[in-house]
């Protein structure tokens, strides 16, 4: 018997086969329904929609390293958007804008170690929102309500697709459990987030991550932070991150020093902060592809994309 040696598919072949998966149009329909329902929810709640920016002199420094994605244009440097966190804060300086949201494409050129996590893409979309004068309790309730609204809509509008892809219709949740990172870590060790997500049947909140300078430090418990993540259950992991924000000049500079942010990159942002013009806000952003993945119970987030955006993978389109 002759052994057939299978040649590795070319990048073009794998791109075309990724694009031709039978399930893809159904997954995309679910994703479309999520975005439509989210728009309706935001409209109902009175948030104003901002169009996304893809290039800016400042972007989210993130709390993990990625490959630099910036270009020179008009004799200055522009970064591709990693998140619109600063633009959310700055837009809310307008006295007549109290809340806003953006369907925001983000480019994060992850290193190869995030290629197979199942939940990273090097380009994705988050629905990012921010409220002036609100706190974490308000935002957490808002997100819980959004999820029930979206899930109910999907059950009504595309029940057949949800049944087929998920295996059952979507639930309505009661109040979500709330945990703190330091307590879970003490109980479960360094993999606490993964372990807890795998055990859970409902989404839950995880408070107090040590992260970027813009997440507010708890004035009552210095060294802890007023931020919150949504963790999807069944092992699907993080689905949203958000926080109350630092908005006072001295505290922003202290936090920048704590996390080692280069102040020079934020000269103009700091000038605005020094004038006391950055309002007190809180908000968050959820990954659209991650919500789609959770709803459709997909192993790999890249199954949600028409054109693969798996970290560190070559593409021809």
Contact between 284 and ligand ASN per CB under 6 A: yes
CB of 288 to ligand ASN, least distance (A): 12
Among 61, 233, 285, 311, indicate the residue that binds ligand ASN (CB under 6 A): 285
Cβ proximity to ligand ASN, 144 vs 157, nearer residue:
144
CB of 316 to ligand ASN, least distance (A): 29
Contact between 311 and ligand ASN per CB under 6 A: no
Contact between 283 and ligand ASN per CB under 6 A: yes
Contact between 287 and ligand ASN per CB under 6 A: no
Cβ proximity to ligand ASN, 66 vs 195, nearer residue:
66
CB of 215 to ligand ASN, least distance (A): 7
Interaction residues for ligand ASN, span 52-91 (CB under 6 A): 60, 83, 85
Interaction residues for ligand ASN, span 221-240 (CB under 6 A): none
SS (H, E, C) the chain: CCCCCCCCCCHHHHHHHHHCCCCHHHHHHHHHHHHHHHHHHHHHCCCEECCCCCEECCCCCCCCCCECCEEEECCEEEEECCCCHHHHHHHCCCCCCCEEEEEEEEECECCHHHCCCCCCCCEEEEEEEEEECCCHHHHHHHHHHHHHHHHHHHHHHCHHHHHHHHCCCCCCCCCCCEEEHHHHHHHHCCCHHHHHHHHCCCCEEEECCCCCCCECECCCCCCCECEEEEEECCCCEEEEEEEEECCCHHHHHHHHHHHCCCHHHHHHHHHHHHCCCCCCEEEEEEEHHHHHHHHHCCCCHHHHCCCCCCCCCCCCC
Residue nearest to ligand ASN (CB): 285
Residues that bind ligand ASN in the complex, under the rule CB under 6 A: 60, 83, 85, 126, 128, 241-243, 283-285
């Amino acid at each position: 018997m002759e052994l057939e040696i299978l040649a590795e598919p070319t990048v073009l072949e794998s791109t075309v086969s990724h694009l031709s998966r039978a399930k893809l149009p159904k997954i995309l329909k679910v994703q479309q329904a999520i975005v439509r329902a989210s728009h309706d929810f935001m409209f109902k709640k009175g948030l104003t929609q901002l169009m996304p920016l893809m290039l800016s002199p400042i972007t989210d420094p993130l709390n993990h390293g990625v490959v630099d994605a910036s270009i020179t244009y008009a004799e200055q440097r522009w970064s591709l958007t990693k998140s619109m966190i600063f633009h959310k804060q700055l837009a809310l300086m307008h006295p007549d804008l109290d809340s806003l949201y953006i369907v925001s494409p983000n480019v994060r050129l992850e290193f190869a170690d995030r290629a197979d996590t199942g939940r990273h893409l090097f380009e994705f979309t988050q629905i990012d929102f921010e409220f002036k004068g609100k706190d974490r309790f308000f935002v957490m309730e808002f997100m819980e309500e959004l999820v029930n609204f979206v899930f109910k809509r999907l059950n009504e509008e595309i029940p057949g697709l949800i049944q087929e892809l998920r295996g059952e219709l979507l639930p309505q949740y009661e109040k979500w459990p709330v945990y703190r990172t330091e307590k879970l870590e003490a109980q479960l060790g360094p993999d606490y987030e993964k372990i807890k997500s795998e055990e859970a049947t409902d989404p839950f909140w995880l408070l107090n991550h040590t992260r970027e300078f813009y997440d507010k430090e708890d004035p009552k418990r210095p060294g802890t932070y007023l931020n919150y993540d949504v963790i999807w259950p069944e092992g699907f992991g993080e689905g949203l991150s958000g926080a109350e924000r630092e908005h006072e000049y001295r505290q922003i500079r202290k936090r920048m020093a704590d996390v080692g942010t280069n102040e020079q990159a934020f000269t103009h942002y700091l000038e605005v902060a020094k004038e006391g013009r950055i309002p007190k806000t809180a908000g968050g952003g959820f990954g659209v592809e991650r919500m789609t993945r959770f709803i459709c119970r997909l192993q790999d987030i890249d199954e949600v994309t028409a054109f693969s955006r798996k970290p560190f993978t070559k593409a021809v389109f």
